[in-house]
Structure 1
Amino acid sequence: MKHAKAIAYLRQLCCSGLNKEIVIPEFLFAVQSVIPSGSNTFSGWNESTIPTYFILENAIADLLDASELVPIIISAFFTPERTNSFVSWFITHPTLTDSKILDRNFYKTDFYNLIFRPYNQHHSLLTLVWINGKPVGTINLFRPRHQKPFNIREQNLMTQLLPYVSHALQAPDDSGIQYCEHGASGMMIMDTQGRVQFMSHAAKHVLALAYHPTLTVDSRSEEVELLAKLAQLCRNLDTIFQGKHAAPPSWSYTNSRGRFIFCAHWLNKQNNEPGGFIGITIEHQEPLTLKILRTLQALPLSAMQKEAALLLAQGFSNEKIGEHLHIKNTTVKDHIGKIFTKLDIHNREELLPKLLALETLEISERG
């Protein structure tokens, strides 16, 4: 039953309407509950079937330290000969688990030793994603050397999930996304000129998501622009403490991975010497829909009740819920009554706070 619920969550996630930069990283992480794996990625292709962008599971944001090299190394590896061999394989096979099919000396290439090996990506399960009869990329699941290769059952399961991944990749960008007011946060310390001095691990992770919602050859330029903005916040704060006018030292930045809130604060030296450091807090706010979906998967609700709860938490009326789920108003009321009973709440206003509180509790227990 637990396995079935995890698969149902993956399907619901892909049909949530959120854009691919939000859905795919969550998919790469959540699929591990049904296909044990880690450090998973998605490689997006251009019309010449050359990998041009990469979406990473959140857990491997540290890979972005090598953001300049990763796309270059991968693009260099996929020569026309290897690309043709790759595509030809998938014409007759749904998955690829033997990387030596691409190159007999695969485990001696820079591709493996500089990208795969440092993150224990030894055994692989690559599945080609198609849209309208054209290959658009691959879902790439990995395991370390000491674990067993992916078996036939796991390959078949990934193949069954592919249509949902394809659906997720076609979701339009939504400018009206509602974000959760609280999210993961971190702290970085900079000097008055905006040079980074110290950074927490959490801040490094959040910054990685802000820098690169996807990995591309031009990823480095995004990082430079963002750091320049943070440096300006430091200069603004320093100017304010000199008694001069400057813009408030805070900034809100939104990309396809969420909304990021940066706030600069003066850190006084204890001995009152001149100079000092500036602390910048960073908060990553995820789409509210994703937060709710994550929480609902662990609750004792039926599939239909979870769908109704998602819509209810987003402020849909009973009538709109019925239209969306193609059910009668009396059935909607029945589902809502059972949701209230199972979650021990009394009205719709209590639902969203309850779900967010449950997610916070689950995160603290995991930590």
Structure 2
Amino acid sequence: MTRKRQLALIRKLCGLGLPAQTLAPSLLPALRTLIPSHSAAVFWVDDRFEMTGLYAERLLPPTEMAAYYEKHYQDAATGFPNAFHARVAASDPVSVRKLSKADQASDYFREVLSRLDAHQILYGVLRDGSRPIGQISFYRGARDPEFGRRDQEMLSGLLRYLSFGLRPQPSPARPLAQAEVVEEWLGIVAKDGAAIIGPPNWSRLVRLLAMEKVAPRTAHDELRVVTEFLRRICARLDGPAGAPIDQVDSQHDSPWGRFRIRAFRLPDGEGRAQDRVGLLIGRREPRTLALTRGAGASGLSPQQREVALLLADGKSNREIARTLALRPNTASYHVKQVFARLQLHNRDEVEPVLLRLAHEGIVELGRDDDDARGAS
């Protein structure tokens, strides 16, 4: 996707009106195609600049996050509230920090930043009007090129849209219409809920499932809450009358979105039951978000992308003309162009094609992340 199309996509995503916690997991990977970095994070704050929650593509484990809160969070030099206050007071809402050798010798770097491979950080202050509401951060490793003026200008130009899309707002009264699973990870736990093995992304999804908010202040409770959540999932394999069940599929809603969990018993090497459970966890993306990403990846013109989204929503040519303030003949022309560009024959094909394009975009981003990890 071209830089211009990616910019248009991010502006569109930020204008969908989705809850910030639902938007962030899909928005950050899209942002990293414009601001190359191995990961990114969003931090939300209250009026006292205390961190109320965060979403990070790379998360410290709960015990390490709790240790950060106890030792570093309020520190005069490295603490979050003081550092955020300084960024808010600066004339430029965008700033860069490259860790010096002296920085890298500190406990804060060894115990926190090095675990995240955060040798360089690009910051942007998010505001709702004049009121600071949070911070977005992008991270690069020691071997990555430095954040330059182009990266800073890119973030500066996007801050207005990001501030709107990532502003805290109430959860919708009704569940959002969900599309397909956009990421899925497998882990193994004991039946008492204790995690045995799982990749970092599986652990991230588990924490989003179990916790309404992820924040350093509540990190000391996370392990207990997550373990109890996993224990309840595993208990479903015992069945309503205590009869063992081999597999259970379930769906869970949280402020972070909708998740699918597939729990299944793991036999030992000789096929006998044992006290281990496989948990395949998938995060679903709201339909409107997936369709928007698919339209952005379609190669259609800006007007045709809007028409394609309305077609996917079941709108007639007359309704499309009314919504986009077009003449009926002009709307019909754009509909024909969408069909021709996407090689479609009827309106029912538009939604599946946009969802397929959205899925292919997620797969491509995953390949890019794997390549970046291999190079670092």
Give the TM-score, by structure 2 length.
Answer: 0.80
**Aligned to 1:134, which of 126, 131, 151?**
131
- Aligned runs of 1:212-361 on 2, under 5 Å? 212=211, 214-216=213-215, 217-219=217-219, 221=221, 224-239=224-239, 242-243=242-243, 249-268=248-267, 271=270, 273=272, 275=274, 277-361=276-360
**Aligned to 1:68, which of 52, 66, 69?**
66
**Aligned to 1:152, which of 129, 149, 163?**
149
Post-superposition CA distance 1:156-211 (Å, at most 9, x none):
22111111011113455333411114443333344444444444666445324424
Cα 1:79–1:153 change in 2 (3 A) is closer
Q: Work out whether residues 305 and 336 of structure 1, in 8 Å CA contact, stay in contact via their aligned partners in 2.
A: yes
Range 257-266 or range 74-83, more displaced:
74-83
Post-superposition CA distance 1:95-152 (Å, at most 9, x none):
222468xx99654444433222232322222122221211222221222233343222
Give the TM-score, by structure 1 length.
Answer: 0.82
Cα 1:201–1:172 change in 2 (3 A) is closer
**In the alignment, what sits opposite 1:112?**
109
Give percent identity, aligned residues only. 24
Range 168-177 or range 336-345, more displaced:
168-177
- Deviation for aligned residue 1:339: 1.0
- Deviation for aligned residue 1:155: 1.6
- Deviation for aligned residue 1:4: 1.1
Post-superposition CA distance 1:11-38 (Å, at most 9, x none):
1111121111232343332222222223
Cα 1:277–1:117 change in 2 (3 A) is closer
Q: Work out whether residues 258 and 286 of structure 1, in 8 Å CA contact, stay in contact via their aligned partners in 2.
A: yes
The one-letter code matched in structure 1 to 2:9 is: Y
Post-superposition CA distance 1:239-282 (Å, at most 9, x none):
558549x9x95432112322112233344556465655443332
**In the alignment, what sits opposite 2:373?**
none
- Deviation for aligned residue 1:363: 4.7
The one-letter code matched in structure 2 to 1:185 is: E
Cα 1:115–1:344 change in 2 (3 A) is same
**In the alignment, what sits opposite 2:42?**
42
**In the alignment, what sits opposite 2:119?**
122
Cα 1:87–1:61 change in 2 (3 A) is closer
**In the alignment, what sits opposite 1:78?**
79
Cα 1:256–1:306 change in 2 (3 A) is farther
Instruction: Give secondary structure in 2 for the equivalent of 1:310.
Output: helix
- Give the Cα–Cα distance (whole angstroms) in 1 for the partners of residues 363 and 10 of structure 2: 23
Cα 1:56–1:205 change in 2 (3 A) is closer
- Give the Cα–Cα distance (whole angstroms) in 1 for the partners of residues 203 and 255 of structure 2: 18
CA RMSD of aligned residues (A): 3.4
- Give the Cα–Cα distance (whole angstroms) in 2 for the partners of residues 311 and 71 of structure 1: 47
The one-letter code matched in structure 2 to 1:294 is: R
Instruction: Give secondary structure in 2 for the equivalent of 1:49.
Output: coil
Range 44-53 or range 200-209, more displaced:
200-209
Unpaired segments ≥5 residues, structure 1: none
Unpaired segments ≥5 residues, structure 2: 368-376
Instruction: Give secondary structure in 2 for the equivalent of 1:54.
Output: strand
**In the alignment, what sits opposite 2:18?**
18
Q: Work out whether residues 257 and 286 of structure 1, in 8 Å CA contact, stay in contact via their aligned partners in 2.
A: no
How many residues end up aligned between the 2 structures?
359
- Give the Cα–Cα distance (whole angstroms) in 2 for the partners of residues 314 and 218 of structure 1: 40
Range 248-257 or range 27-36, more displaced:
248-257
- Deviation for aligned residue 1:83: 5.3
Instruction: Give secondary structure in 2 for the equivalent of 1:68.
Output: helix
- Deviation for aligned residue 1:223: 5.3
Q: Work out whether residues 259 and 284 of structure 1, in 8 Å CA contact, stay in contact via their aligned partners in 2.
A: yes
- Give the Cα–Cα distance (whole angstroms) in 1 for the partners of residues 272 and 34 of structure 2: 57
**In the alignment, what sits opposite 1:87?**
88
- Give the Cα–Cα distance (whole angstroms) in 1 for the partners of residues 113 and 68 of structure 2: 10
Cα 1:36–1:279 change in 2 (3 A) is closer
Post-superposition CA distance 1:41-74 (Å, at most 9, x none):
22222212233322223xx256667443455533
Cα 1:84–1:302 change in 2 (3 A) is closer
- Deviation for aligned residue 1:341: 0.9
